[in-house]
């Protein structure tokens, strides 16, 4: 009978202060929505950007030649270090922690022609491993560069989906068609699948034309590579691999292994770690902003509970007179505070979930840029913890005041 009685008294008091109660519940509801939506947007942005970064490859490292910054063994600083085709195989043999590696030729001095348009774009010469290193996959019905293409110096090409659309007017039924590169015919063996890619070097993959490295060298006669791409067996060994790259190439090209200017290395795994740390701070900031709004609602709950305590002073005196201890009074008002907060929170949760569901239909361009809000277990847990903390603070001080009322003075009130 104790809890039903408390509920009856609580709702009676709340009904007597309808406007104040409505505003208080609205404050909690608004604060709950703010926390959930901000954290949901933060999760969506993080997930989408991680997906976008994977467009360049998972844990990929890109290696360029640089210019020496230190004198070494009689050589002055300022020497150009140019990478060669055989350097990729040298690194593969010397550094077992490298899982996949590919040399990469690149040129913009080529015109590509299709039946509808002509364009000047990046022509990239690579080996078959490049597909798995850079997450470049072809559409159904096609294939990537093979070892057989390499051995024959075949005039075969994998074309980016966007440049294919421009040159041919479509991306369907293109495999087997002829593409001209500097008036040299190439057979298209694959069209890349569309992917989101927010980082690149040279050109985005959707606008590239990929041909066998041996064919590239035979046609363009490049002496040096544009760069080398590799993927360590684990991100955990990436730093050690970088050190070994400097040592191995330093020994070949005679530069100081500690000379960071001699090579330029972009470790995307390191960049992803920085991004994850940034997103943690960003989501924490969003959570703090949302919690401020929730705190305002908590202040409203505390105010209404102080009013409830004042109006029920006589009831408190009676309970104390018949044996209720201070702990019982304290629990009663904290419990009632949690009820008010729970009502506002439930409404806020429902509205936030509805808005998140509606926002799943954002335009494709918006999704690729910022992702879609996502309700996750971590978002719900953080929201519940914040709500519980606000309810406890909002209820404790009015409840403490109620529990310390002198029973005699309360009965006289």
> Tens digits of per-residue pLDDT, 292-346?
777 777 777 777 777 766 766 666 666 666 666 777 777 777 777 777 778 888 8
pLDDT value of residue 77 = 92
For 162-172, what is the mean pLDDT?
Answer: 93
Q: Does residue 265 form part of some domain?
A: no
Measure the N-to-C terminal CA separation of the chain; round to a whole number of Å: 26
288 with 193, same domain: the answer is: no
113 with 50, same domain: the answer is: no
More confident residue, 190 or 16: 190
pLDDT value of residue 216 = 96
15 with 146, same domain: the answer is: no
pLDDT value of residue 282 = 75
> pLDDT > 90: what percent of the chain?
40
Domain edge (last residue) among 193, 224, 255: 224
47 with 106, same domain: the answer is: no
Q: What total number of domains does the chain contain?
A: 2
- Could you give the angle at the alpha carbon of 172 between the alpha carbons of 167 and 176, nearest 5°? 75
C-alpha–C-alpha distance, residues 301 and 390, integer Å: 9
pLDDT value of residue 182 = 93
Q: Distances in Å between the alpha carbon of 43 and those of 109, 170, 279, 351?
A: 42, 35, 9, 18
Q: Does residue 61 form part of some domain?
A: no
406 with 283, same domain: the answer is: yes
Of 94-98, 211-215, 243-247, 406-410, give the lowest mean pLDDT range: 406-410
pLDDT tens per residue, range 68-122: 999 999 899 999 999 999 999 999 999 999 999 999 999 998 999 999 999 999 9
User: Mean pLDDT over all residues of the chain?
Assistant: 82
Determine if residue 340 is left, alpha or beta; phi over 0 gives left, psi from -120 to 50 gives alpha, anything else beta.
alpha
pLDDT band at 213 (very low <50, low <70, confident <90, very high): very high
Whether the predicted pLDDT of 64 surpasses 60: yes
pLDDT value of residue 52 = 66
For 196-212, what is the mean pLDDT?
Answer: 83
Range with the largest mean pLDDT of 158-172, 328-342, 378-392? 158-172
Q: Does residue 59 form part of some domain?
A: no
More confident residue, 142 or 376: 142
pLDDT value of residue 129 = 94
pLDDT value of residue 1 = 43
pLDDT value of residue 367 = 58
Domain edge (last residue) among 165, 191, 224: 224
Q: Does residue 74 form part of some domain?
A: no
pLDDT band at 53 (very low <50, low <70, confident <90, very high): low
What are the tokens at 218? 């035979």
pLDDT value of residue 320 = 64
Domain edge (last residue) among 224, 258, 288: 224
290 with 381, same domain: the answer is: yes
Q: Does residue 349 form part of some domain?
A: yes
Residue 272's φ and ψ, nearest 5 degrees, are: -65, -40
pLDDT tens per residue, range 224-259: 999 999 999 988 888 899 999 999 999 999 999 999
pLDDT value of residue 331 = 74
> pLDDT > 70: what percent of the chain?
77
132 with 33, same domain: the answer is: no
pLDDT value of residue 16 = 60
397 with 305, same domain: the answer is: yes
112 with 208, same domain: the answer is: yes
pLDDT value of residue 11 = 64
0.85 surpassed by pTM: no
- Full residue range of the structural domain in which residue 391 is found: 2-54+273-412
pLDDT band at 54 (very low <50, low <70, confident <90, very high): low
Q: Which residues pair with 263 in a beta bridge?
A: 65
Q: Does residue 15 form part of some domain?
A: yes
Of 37-41, 301-305, 362-366, give the lowest mean pLDDT range: 362-366
C-alpha–C-alpha distance, residues 292 and 279, integer Å: 20
More confident residue, 116 or 368: 116
Whether the predicted pLDDT of 361 surpasses 70: yes
Comparing CA positions, the residue from 121, 216, 217, 211 lying closest to residue 164 is 121
Q: Does residue 230 form part of some domain?
A: no
210 with 121, same domain: the answer is: yes
Q: Does residue 237 form part of some domain?
A: no
pLDDT value of residue 5 = 56
37 with 127, same domain: the answer is: no
278 with 408, same domain: the answer is: yes
């Amino acid at each position: 009978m104790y809890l039903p009685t408390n509920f009856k008294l609580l709702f009676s008091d709340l009904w007597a202060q309808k406007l104040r109660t409505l505003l208080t519940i609205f404050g909690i509801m608004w604060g709950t929505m703010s926390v959930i939506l901000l954290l949901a947007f933060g999760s969506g942005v993080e997930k989408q950007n991680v997906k976008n970064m994977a467009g360049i490859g998972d844990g990929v490292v890109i290696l360029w030649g640089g210019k020496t910054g230190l004198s070494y063994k009689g050589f002055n600083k300022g020497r150009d270090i140019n990478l060669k085709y055989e350097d990729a195989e040298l690194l593969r043999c010397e550094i077992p922690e490298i899982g996949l590696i590919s040399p990469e030729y690149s040129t913009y001095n080529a015109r590509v022609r299709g039946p509808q348009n002509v364009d000047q774009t990046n022509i990239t010469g690579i080996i078959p491993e490049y597909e798995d290193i850079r997450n470049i996959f072809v559409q159904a019905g096609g294939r990537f560069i093979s070892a057989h293409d390499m051995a024959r110096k075949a005039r075969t090409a994998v074309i980016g989906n966007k440049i294919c659309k421009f040159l041919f007017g479509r991306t369907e039924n293109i495999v087997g068609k002829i593409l001209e590169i500097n008036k040299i015919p190439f057979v298209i063996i694959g069209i890349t699948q569309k992917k989101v890619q927010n980082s690149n070097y040279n050109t985005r993959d959707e606008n590239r034309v990929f041909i066998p490295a041996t064919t590239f060298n035979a046609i363009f006669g490049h002496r040096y590579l544009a760069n080398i791409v590799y993927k360590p067996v684990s991100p955990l060994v990436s730093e050690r691999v970088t050190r070994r790259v400097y040592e191995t190439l330093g020994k070949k090209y005679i530069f100081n292994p500690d000379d960071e200017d001699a090579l330029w290395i972009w470790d995307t795994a390191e960049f992803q770690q920085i991004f994850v740390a940034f997103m943690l701070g960003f989501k924490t900031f969003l959570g703090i902003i949302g919690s401020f709004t929730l705190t305002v609602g908590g202040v409203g709950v505390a105010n209404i509970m102080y009013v409830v305590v004042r109006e029920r002073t006589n009831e408190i005196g009676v309970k104390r007179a018949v044996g209720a201890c201070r702990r019982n009074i304290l629990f009663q008002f904290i419990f009632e505070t949690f009820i008010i907060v729970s009502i506002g929170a439930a409404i806020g949760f429902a509205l936030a979930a509805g808005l998140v569901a509606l926002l799943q239909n954002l335009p494709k361009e918006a999704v690729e840029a910022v992702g879609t809000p996502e309700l996750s277990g971590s978002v719900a847990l953080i929201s519940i913890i914040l709500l519980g903390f606000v309810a406890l603070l909002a209820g404790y001080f009015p409840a403490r005041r109620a529990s310390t009322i002198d029973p005699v003075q309360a009965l006289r009130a």
